[in-house]
Structure 1
Amino acid sequence: MKKSVSSPVFFSNENKIAFLSYTNWAKDPAKYELMTMELSSQNIETIKLDTPNPTGDKRVIKSIDMSVNAISIAALYIVLMGLLSVFCLNYYPKKTYLPSISFSIAVLTFLASLVVAATVNAWYGIGLGMLAAAILVCSIVIFLFIVIFKRFVK
């Protein structure tokens, strides 16, 4: 029988041990069983875990969960900054240039990642650096959109 045992826990007042027994071999779905074993007699008992099935329809929650990911957040950032840039170009043609603000956010985030990596934790700094790289890519897309928009508006 192909089984693996993990997470052994000793009972504090009894001569028993509890453990998880499961099969998780290639291309097989995992089946977990909670088992106990009397150490003196080596008698193994299975504890049935009867959990209720979830009720109700979870389509809305699942669709929200699937829609909130890195690509959708980047796309929303690009749309927001692009629309704000178009708005500012129409009302304040020479005063505001939002892609430069987005580039500034990327640079400041990158500098903050260097400071965090040096002072707090290198992994936190790497995470902020990846965020800065994503903002930089979004800024380039916004910049290209504004350049193309200016060509077509004229």
Structure 2
Amino acid sequence: MLRRTYDDQVCSVARALEVVGERWTLLIIRDALSGVTRFDGFLHRLPIARNVLSDRLNGLVEHGVLERVRYQDRPPRHEYRLTAKGRELTPVVLALMEWGDNHLPTPTGPPAVAEHVGCGGTVHARMTCDCCGRRVAPGTVVGRSTGAATPPGPARR
């Protein structure tokens, strides 16, 4: 199978998609965030082929999103635990979940909510400005080039 890449893109979103953009990968991360750690646990929650799951888990380990930890010697078996880098994907998964709830709702309501372990409140993905501290609506955000996005090339005159 020909792998699709974003190598020609000088873009942080494209680089992130190289790690989490393949089919099933964000669902594996979603399940890991909810406590699934074992291969059979992922298989039980996802209708995914064993070889595809193995490939996705290996890729997430390779990129430092998950770590493989042996929990049994004979036969050797491993758990897949989120790293700090992997846990930083929580707001991404929450934002996708909220978007799906808002724009692709099920007739019976949201199938899950994100709950704060400390108090039981519902957790939401929110955007805030680091300058004024205010909540920011999606329509009030613009992308601005930093100059770092310019691919290396011949000097311009």
Quick check: TM above 0.5?
Answer: no
**Larger RCO, structure (CA 8 Å, separation 6 or more):** 2
TM-score bracket, normalised by the shorter chain, equals under 0.3
Normalized per residue, which structure has more helix?
Answer: 1
Larger Rg: 1
Normalized per residue, which structure has more strand?
Answer: 1
Task: Provide the TM-score with structure 2 as the length reference.
Answer: 0.25
